[in-house]
Structure 1
Amino acid sequence: MQRRVLIVVFPGFQLLDMAGPADVFSTADLLLREGGYRVEPVTVRPGAVPAGNGVTVMAAGLGDVVGPIDTLLVAGGLSVPAQIREGELVTAVARLAGAARRVASVCNGAFILAEAGLLDHRRATTHWLTADELKSRYEHVDVDADPLYIEDGNVWTSAGVLSGVDLALALVARDHGHALARDVARGLVVYLHRPGGQSQFSTPMRAMTPRSEPLRELQAYIDANPAADLSVPALAARAGMSERHFSRVFTEQTGLSPGRYVERSRADTARRLLEVTGHPLETVARESGLGSAETLYRVFRRHWRISPGDHRRRFQSKEK
């Protein structure tokens, strides 16, 4: 029997918030012989629903939904504030959530869940640009702006736009195992299923682009040479600055201290090595510049709340 997935849309919704998860579920359905998924876009008033980019989607009415619901997923979009003010969508989502096995949101669709009271006393995430607003507006929601997605009980929330794909892959993995999630990811030619604890930002995305060309080149050097001597004295010498001046300027122009940037860059390298190689942990630690398996473990727990071994078991590509 197929699992019924309702994706809630509304005028001005973000198309990728719907299309990304929908393609994950439909691809999983193609790969499964039974127990797959049936995706149904739903909205307040049935009919054509224009996305924010002008593409129109046909959706059934929320009021017409009958029968069991496996997953109720709410898309985001620039028009979410208007939907909250009008209230009709929020009321319908609150009603159907009680009949769903699990509830989820993509991007600022979390605001609709919060307005419906579904995130009260739960940990949740949303797009990093709107996280502070979610936190200030809903005091009973424990907002964490960093992870790609968060599971708290039967409620899942995800970060901006394409993290909805990561969320959907996680749901598929929960239902049918990580092997299927990896197969779906390869079929869609997307990044391998990433753990929810992974940050919304890779190291370059976390940091601002330096105004100074020498610092931009140094930033690229750090990312390309994780096992090199990336101590402050070595980096300062490479930049032709005193250590004190270099640390001040690098932090000012990137938003991260040299030490934090180097650790995060090395952690990103280690994560990729775990996913695409079968190297022992000691080798991964050495090639990523982290030095030892003990340091690798501490860094993974700090950044992604998962051990290196668990990360590899869950997210390693079969194409090594």
Structure 2
Amino acid sequence: MQTITALLFDNFETLDLFGPIQMFGSLPEHYRIQYSSLLGGVISNNHGIAIQTTAIAELDYSTVILLIVGGMGTRQKISDSEFLQALVSLSTHADWVLSVCTGSALLAKAGVLDNRKATSNKLALQWASTQSEEVHWVQESRWVVDGKFYTSSGVSAGIDMALGFIADRHGIKTAQRIANYTEYHWQQDSKLDSFYEP
């Protein structure tokens, strides 16, 4: 059983979180999910979603897979040194780090994506890229894999990335079964994103 820690902050993007969680939650025999934030307590967003989280320092299980989401809340967290330090620690100790949307901007600012390829939300990629010149930003991809880091484009791309991660770990048939169950048209080619405009 591998533990996914979803790292949250106020004003996160709803589908950034629940899209991948829906996919991973389809394999309860392989994954448990814990919701965390810097200090714990209730984290909410502008869609009226409120989630009880555990402080990073008090997590019940060690993080094997870190899921960092995006949303407008990244604009505040990008200058929160305590949060970024915690993100470095979690990323360093996790076996895998998955980001959705502008979650990659936080990883970039924290320095953990230095000399790696990554992507972000197409509409926010210019902003994300200003967080670090050490990251090799890939504009055209739906999601990018570099070592233990999986970074996806915006919002629904997190679902495609999660299914890609599942395919890499458990086989493409398992990923396709989950996509079929959720009636989702999975974009299987990580290098192809129809929202990219050259």
Q: Which residue of 1 aligns with 2:120?
A: 126
Conserved? CA contact 2:105–2:131, under 8 Å: no
Conserved? CA contact 1:169–1:193, under 8 Å: no
2:110 to 98, 105, 116: 116
* 3-state secondary structure, aligned to 2:42: strand
Conserved? CA contact 1:182–1:193, under 8 Å: no
Aligned 1:148-167 pairs, distance under 5 A: 148-167=142-161
Aligned 1:188-267 pairs, distance under 5 A: 188-201=182-195, 206=197
Comparing both structures, which one devotes a greater share of its residues to helix? 1
Conserved? CA contact 1:148–1:159, under 8 Å: yes
Comparing both structures, which one devotes a greater share of its residues to strand? 2
2:31 to 12, 21, 37: 37
* 3-state secondary structure, aligned to 1:104: strand
* 3-state secondary structure, aligned to 1:40: strand
* 3-state secondary structure, aligned to 2:71: coil
User: Is 1:58 paired with 2:57?
Assistant: no
User: Is 1:139 paired with 2:138?
Assistant: no
User: Is 1:15 paired with 2:14?
Assistant: yes
Amino acid at match of 1:19: F
Name the CA shift for 1:180/1:16 in 2 (closer, same or farther; >3 Å): same
Shift of 1:191: 0.8
Conserved? CA contact 1:185–1:193, under 8 Å: no
Structure 1: gaps spanning 5 or more residues: 207-255, 257-320
Tell me the matched-pair count.
198
1:86 to 80, 87, 98: 80
Amino acid at match of 2:19: G
* 3-state secondary structure, aligned to 2:133: coil
Conserved? CA contact 1:52–1:78, under 8 Å: no
**Which string of whole-angstrom CA distances, capped at 9 and with x for unpartnered residues, describes residues 40-62 of structure 1?**
11111212110232211111111
Quote the Cα distance in structure 1 between the aligned partners of 2:186 and 2:105.
28
Quote the Cα distance in structure 1 between the aligned partners of 2:141 and 2:17.
20
Aligned Cα root-mean-square deviation (Å): 1.6
Shift of 1:67: 4.6
Shift of 1:98: 1.6
Larger radius of gyration: 1
Quote the Cα distance in structure 1 between the aligned partners of 2:101 and 2:171.
25
Shift of 1:192: 2.6
Conserved? CA contact 2:43–2:52, under 8 Å: yes
User: Is 1:186 paired with 2:185?
Assistant: no
TM-score, length-scaled by structure 2: 0.94
Quote the Cα distance in structure 1 between the aligned partners of 2:35 and 2:47.
17
Shift of 1:17: 0.7
Q: Which residue of 2 aligns with 1:171?
A: 165
Quote the Cα distance in structure 2 between the aligned partners of 1:175 and 1:96.
21
Percent identity over paired residues: 27
Shift of 1:199: 1.5
Amino acid at match of 1:157: T
Shift of 1:80: 0.5
Amino acid at match of 2:5: L
Name the CA shift for 1:160/1:200 in 2 (closer, same or farther; >3 Å): farther
Conserved? CA contact 2:143–2:157, under 8 Å: yes
